Chains A and B, each alone.
Chain A
Amino acid sequence: MTRDRKVGLILLVPLIVLVLGLTVYPIIQVISLAFQQQGLYSQESTFVGLKNFASVVNHEGFNRSLSNTFVFAFGSLALQMGIGLPIALLLNKEFPLRTPIRGVMLFSYLVPYVVAAMTWKFMFSDSTGIINYWIRWSGLPIPASPFGSLDWAMVGVIFVNAWKNFPFMVIVFLAQLQTIDRQLYEAASVDGATAWQKFYKITLPSLLPIMLVVGMLRTIWNFNNFEVVFLLTQGGPIGRTETLPLYIYRFVFGDFSLGRGAALAVIVFFILLVMSVIYWRLYERTQGRFK
């Protein structure tokens, strides 16, 4: 048995080395950078204590990008769930060609972010866009090119993020829906329950735990999302859609201030750490309940 344990230890070495090199060391480095004044390409650095943290938190863009991030993360989550839940309920029902439709529904989740951003930008563009043309033609009170509009840019990026990621919700909900015992519905029918009562009393309670967990997971991913906003608006117009990842990117690769960018990244990391702990607690609680 001791020889076996030795074999096991040796087998774990590659992962341990990689986790140390690719996660632990970079995190230590980013934390230490946060306490230094450090240019992007310069070798010398000076220890400045908490000055970087103070300067980023007091920077005029910080509150704006923090609130933008929460609006973007929770707005996207609401829309992703709002689209995902009815579609999952629909695809759980029986109708012709259901299996291929389930597959095609995943396409938007599979295509690269650049493709998703490019096609929507193209369709809303002023000179070439088909949706832009339809909106102008129909006279609806929404801007034909939302990504350049002060009030609608955030709605636009949330919409594209929801389009890209709603199939994830559908997959998870569908998997859960299929575990519900069909006899429950039959018993409810015998007792004369309406469709709404069946949804409210059977479907929703069994989806709720997974909704909490997926909601948390998706919130964190939305929080971290860089691509959608960067490709569609680059944080504009005048910072209306600038989320924290873009704000960090601008500090580091726009102003070449690695130290301040690192300080911001550490702040984001702690926000996410708190969210992850909550996620983990929820996850364990739901696991415990359903064992």
Chain B
Amino acid sequence: MTTSYPGRAQRKQMPSLSASPRARRAAAKRRFEMLLRMLGAVTVLMIVLLPLFWMLASSFKPNIELFQRPPSIFTANPTFEHYVELWEFTSFPRYFLNTFLVAGISCLAGVIISLITVYAITRFEFIAARVFAFGVLIIYMLPPILLALPFFRIWYNLNMLNSLWALGITYLTITLPFSLWILRPYIEAIPQALEEAAMIDGCTRFQAFRKVIVPQAWPGIVASFVFTFVVVWNELLYSLVLISDEAKRTVSLGIASLILETSVYSWGLVNAAGVLATVPVLFLFAFAARQMVSGLGAGAVKG
């Protein structure tokens, strides 16, 4: 994401107290522009961070202060009571486990199948890339609500509503298109000569795949896994439709139920749950920011 500008170094070397008034005016103008940019950046940060900051601050407030008018920004008596309540008196620990399980199943399966498929397509070329790309695109565009109806019916007929396995398999419709899109450029970039050399040296095709393709495509593999994990972690509609058993809820569904089912909800509890649902996502982002940014733009810009 970063680009270095050759102009920067020169500008810094230029003495700020140069003789001519024209140069001084230009320097003042540049400083003013820089100030404007900083102000703009602060505004952007405020827009993005205000709700998240408010959620974090509120999750530590005692119940009385949550309803205080005017609202206090920082609490004088921070408390962990909402987190304790969430951990001990609700099923949220269970929801976290469920979501990790479901996201793990569908993302791992999605990445493995995509890896095999992209490999086959780029190395054996019997499906025109155009058909492949268009097909994936169509899946990508399908309204989730359109698929949710038949999936409800299918899992109902198989008596697998409320099954986390069924939910995980259903999530493949989300994870597969993403990981296919993300992985393709990585695998296309690996020169075929590299594998051929390995095979001439006596590797089988599978060994060549494992020892050449997998390590070379590793950044792409990480990118698809991390990105699809976040998408599944955040998903709501399929879990809303397929899961009605309280013990099988995902985190998103658990929070949605807190918001929707009770009219007078405990905002402290909801905020604490929101904070905990956000932590894994931001953690993954901190861990693989560069790969995730490449994933975010993948569907739109890369062909």
Once the chains bind, are B143 and A107 in contact (CB under 8 Å)? no
Q: How far is the CA of A130 from the CA of B53 in the complex (A)?
A: 12
Binds A, one of B20-28, B78-86, B187-195, B281-289: B281-289
State whether the Cβ of B241 lies closer than 8 Å to any Cβ in chain A: yes
Residues 227-283 of B contacting A (Cβ, < 8 Å): 230, 233-234, 236-237, 241, 251-252, 255-256, 259-260, 267, 270-271, 274, 277-278, 281-282
Once the chains bind, are B70 and A137 in contact (CB under 8 Å)? yes
Contacts of A193 in B (CB 8 A): none
Contacts of B237 in A (CB 8 A): 226-227
Once the chains bind, are A14 and B116 in contact (CB under 8 Å)? yes
State whether the Cβ of B165 lies closer than 8 Å to any Cβ in chain A: no
Q: How far is the CA of A217 from the CA of B181 in the complex (A)?
A: 15
Once the chains bind, are A172 and B301 in contact (CB under 8 Å)? yes
Tier of interface size on chain A: 35 or more
Residues 277-291 of A contacting B (Cβ, < 8 Å): 279-280, 283, 287
Q: How far is the CB of A39 from chain B (nearest CB, A)?
A: 11
Taking A217-B299, A231-B256 as contacts, is the C-beta distance between A11 and B49 under 8 angstroms? no
Chain B: CB-nearest residue to A83? B47
- 18 pairs, CB–CB < 8 Å, chain A vs chain B: A11-B116, A26-B151, A93-B37, A97-B41, A105-B48, A114-B234, A114-B259, A118-B259, A121-B259, A122-B55, A128-B267, A129-B71, A163-B51, A172-B297, A224-B145, A248-B145, A252-B152, A276-B141
State whether the Cβ of A50 lies closer than 8 Å to any Cβ in chain B: no
Q: How far is the CA of A249 from the CA of B259 in the complex (A)?
A: 18
Contacts of B170 in A (CB 8 A): 22
State whether the Cβ of B176 lies closer than 8 Å to any Cβ in chain A: yes
Q: How far is the CB of A243 from chain B (nearest CB, A)?
A: 10
Residues 26-81 of A contacting B (Cβ, < 8 Å): 26-27, 29-30, 33, 40-41
State whether the Cβ of A18 lies closer than 8 Å to any Cβ in chain B: yes
Query: Which of these, B117, B172, B260, contacts A22 with CB under 8 Å?
Result: B172
State whether the Cβ of A191 lies closer than 8 Å to any Cβ in chain B: no
Residues 222-276 of A contacting B (Cβ, < 8 Å): 223-224, 226-227, 230-231, 234, 245, 248-249, 252-253, 258, 261-262, 265-266, 268-269, 272, 275-276
Contacts of B139 in A (CB 8 A): 19, 23
Q: How far is the CB of B112 from chain A (nearest CB, A)?
A: 9
Once the chains bind, are B270 and A22 in contact (CB under 8 Å)? no
State whether the Cβ of A127 lies closer than 8 Å to any Cβ in chain B: yes
Tier of interface size on chain B: 35 or more
Once the chains bind, are B234 and A104 in contact (CB under 8 Å)? no
Once the chains bind, are A171 and B299 in contact (CB under 8 Å)? no
Question: What are the interface flags for B117-159 relative to A under an 8 Å C-beta threshold, 1 for contact and 0 otherwise?
Answer: 1011101101100000011011101111111011111101000
Query: Which of these, B41, B67, B150, contacts A29 with CB under 8 Å?
Result: B150
Query: Which of these, A104, A234, A287, contacts B45 with CB under 8 Å?
Result: A104
Question: What are the interface flags for B19-49 relative to A under an 8 Å C-beta threshold, 1 for contact and 0 otherwise?
Answer: 0000000000000001001101100110111
Contacts of B76 in A (CB 8 A): none
Once the chains bind, are B150 and A33 in contact (CB under 8 Å)? yes
Once the chains bind, are A226 and B145 in contact (CB under 8 Å)? yes
- Give A contacts to B, CB under 8 Å: 4-5, 7-9, 11-12, 14-15, 18-19, 22-23, 25-27, 29-30, 33, 40-41, 86-87, 90-91, 93-99, 101-123, 125, 127-130, 133, 137, 163, 167-168, 171-172, 174-176, 178, 182, 210, 213-214, 217, 220, 223-224, 226-227, 230-231, 234, 245, 248-249, 252-253, 258, 261-262, 265-266, 268-269, 272, 275-276, 279-280, 283, 287
The 10 A-B pairs of least Cβ separation, nearest first, read A8-B124, A26-B150, A11-B120, A119-B51, A112-B234, A29-B150, A224-B143, A95-B37, A114-B255, A265-B146
Once the chains bind, are A133 and B70 in contact (CB under 8 Å)? yes
Contacts of A120 in B (CB 8 A): 51
Contacts of B141 in A (CB 8 A): 220, 224, 272, 275-276, 279
Contacts of B142 in A (CB 8 A): 23, 27, 269, 272
Once the chains bind, are A5 and B274 in contact (CB under 8 Å)? no
Q: How far is the CA of A65 from the CA of B10 in the complex (A)?
A: 58
Q: How far is the CA of A226 from the CA of B173 in the complex (A)?
A: 17
Q: How far is the CB of A218 from chain B (nearest CB, A)?
A: 9
State whether the Cβ of B291 lies closer than 8 Å to any Cβ in chain A: no
Q: How far is the CB of B97 from chain A (nearest CB, A)?
A: 17
Taking A33-B150, A172-B297, A265-B146 as contacts, is the C-beta distance between A99 and B52 under 8 angstroms? no
Sample of 17 further A-B pairs with CB below 8 A, known A137-B70, A182-B5, A280-B134: A15-B117, A30-B147, A86-B40, A87-B40, A94-B8, A104-B49, A105-B45, A110-B282, A111-B281, A112-B233, A115-B255, A119-B271, A128-B267, A174-B1, A210-B300, A220-B141, A272-B141
Q: How far is the CA of A280 from the CA of B137 in the complex (A)?
A: 9
Q: How far is the CA of A111 from the CA of B278 in the complex (A)?
A: 6
Once the chains bind, are B149 and A265 in contact (CB under 8 Å)? yes
